[in-house]
Amino acid sequence: MTGSDARGAAADRAVRKFVFDFFLREGSAPVLEEIALGLGIGRQEAVRALGRLDTAHHLKLLPGSTRILMAFPFSAIPTPFRVTRPNEKRYFANCAWDAVAFHTMLGEPIWIHGFCRHCARPLRFSIVDGRPQSPDGPLPVLWFGLPAASWWHDIVRTCSETMVFFASAEHLAAWRTAGDPGGAELTVDQTLRISEPIYRRKLRLEYERPPPELLQMEFASAGLTGPFWNLTPRSRAAEGVPERARRHP
Ligand SMILES: [Zn+2]
């Protein structure tokens, strides 16, 4: 690593940490000027760090801008996935998975409010000490519509349209009968399990995204196996998928 690479990596860590701390405190994303002022760095340095963090899948910028749209699990805009902490701070999550992952990241009880994708019924449940509980009967299920290897092809669509809640397996089945039969069904417990390697250390300065091999093992331990869950299928190299995309599930 060269001196400038090392400085870039240190700047990326500082900017990433600043963005996540800001989201946690304010419930919204910092703007570029707040990042530069907060860290005592120049505007261009902040721009370059945000660009690298976007490329490395730590966050997603609004295309064509330096505005932060997503810093997983935080969303800068309203979504159907709402998370409330014991201190009553509230956040929007990017997708159903991110909503559940707030518990993993924070290590404290959370409430999740969402909607059934099939019938728009409001859903609510809590997660306390790794245990999901619903006051309204059965827990919701999650539906992932796209194979794992393609999640990052268009992460905004993936989060917004293909990682969602259903009131129950029956609601998901009814919705599938009416339309797209594909995708995978997950329990909240399985979702908590696969959140571990990605979200547990999110708020630490030294956080790094887990290698796909580790995530793949976590999928398998949650019972999620087969081509749908394969993060690095051999055929992808033949498809010309860039190395960067393959390295960051
Ligand atoms: Zn429903």
CB neighbours of residue 236 within 10 Å: 16
244 found inside a domain: no
Q: Which domain holds residue 219?
A: 82-229
Asked if the model's pLDDT at residue 248 lies above 50, the reply is: no
Asked if the model's pLDDT at residue 177 lies above 90, the reply is: no
Asked if the model's pLDDT at residue 180 lies above 90, the reply is: no
Instruction: Using the mean position of ligand 1's atoms as its centre, give its distance from the Cα of residue 228 in Å.
Output: 24
Instruction: Using the mean position of ligand 1's atoms as its centre, give its distance from the Cα of residue 190 in Å.
Output: 20
Q: What is the CA radius of gyration of the chain?
A: 18
Instruction: Using the mean position of ligand 1's atoms as its centre, give its distance from the Cα of residue 40 in Å.
Output: 49
Instruction: Using the mean position of ligand 1's atoms as its centre, give its distance from the Cα of residue 130 in Å.
Output: 25
Residues 135 and 40 in one domain: no
Residues 45 and 145 in one domain: no
Instruction: Using the mean position of ligand 1's atoms as its centre, give its distance from the Cα of residue 165 in Å.
Output: 9
For the segment 101-108, the average pLDDT, to the nearest whole number, is: 98
Residues 214 and 100 in one domain: yes
**pLDDT tens for each residue of 7-65:** 889 999 999 999 999 999 999 999 999 999 999 999 999 999 999 999 999 999 999 99
Residues 63 and 92 in one domain: no
For the segment 239-247, the average pLDDT, to the nearest whole number, is: 43
Which pLDDT belongs to residue 1? 60
Instruction: Using the mean position of ligand 1's atoms as its centre, give its distance from the Cα of residue 69 in Å.
Output: 28
Average pLDDT, the chain: 92
100: CATH: 3.30.450.410
Which pLDDT belongs to residue 7? 80
For the segment 171-176, the average pLDDT, to the nearest whole number, is: 93
Instruction: Using the mean position of ligand 1's atoms as its centre, give its distance from the Cα of residue 192 in Å.
Output: 22
Instruction: Using the mean position of ligand 1's atoms as its centre, give its distance from the Cα of residue 11 in Å.
Output: 45
Cβ contact 94:81 at 8 Å: yes
44: CATH: 1.10.10.10
Instruction: Using the mean position of ligand 1's atoms as its centre, give its distance from the Cα of residue 127 in Å.
Output: 21
212 found inside a domain: yes
Which pLDDT belongs to residue 232? 82
Residues 122 and 217 in one domain: yes
Which pLDDT belongs to residue 8? 83
Residues 117 and 143 in one domain: yes
Instruction: Using the mean position of ligand 1's atoms as its centre, give its distance from the Cα of residue 166 in Å.
Output: 6
Which pLDDT belongs to residue 3? 75
Asked if the model's pLDDT at residue 235 lies above 50, the reply is: no
For the segment 201-228, the average pLDDT, to the nearest whole number, is: 96
Asked if the model's pLDDT at residue 6 lies above 70, the reply is: yes
Asked if the model's pLDDT at residue 245 lies above 60, the reply is: no
For the segment 205-219, the average pLDDT, to the nearest whole number, is: 95
Asked if the model's pLDDT at residue 224 lies above 50, the reply is: yes
Per-residue confidence band for 244, with pLDDT thresholds at 50, 70 and 90: very low
Instruction: Using the mean position of ligand 1's atoms as its centre, give its distance from the Cα of residue 121 in Å.
Output: 6
243 found inside a domain: no
Domain end residue (candidates: 71, 98, 118): 71
77 found inside a domain: no
Residues 61 and 108 in one domain: no
Instruction: Using the mean position of ligand 1's atoms as its centre, give its distance from the Cα of residue 99 in Å.
Output: 18
Instruction: Using the mean position of ligand 1's atoms as its centre, give its distance from the Cα of residue 137 in Å.
Output: 13
Asked if the model's pLDDT at residue 220 lies above 80, the reply is: yes
Instruction: Using the mean position of ligand 1's atoms as its centre, give its distance from the Cα of residue 138 in Å.
Output: 12
Residues 97 and 156 in one domain: yes
Residues 10 and 122 in one domain: no
Residues 180 and 98 in one domain: yes
CA distance 48 to 167: 42
Per-residue confidence band for 247, with pLDDT thresholds at 50, 70 and 90: very low
Tokens 């609601």, located at residue: 171
Instruction: Using the mean position of ligand 1's atoms as its centre, give its distance from the Cα of residue 117 in Å.
Output: 6
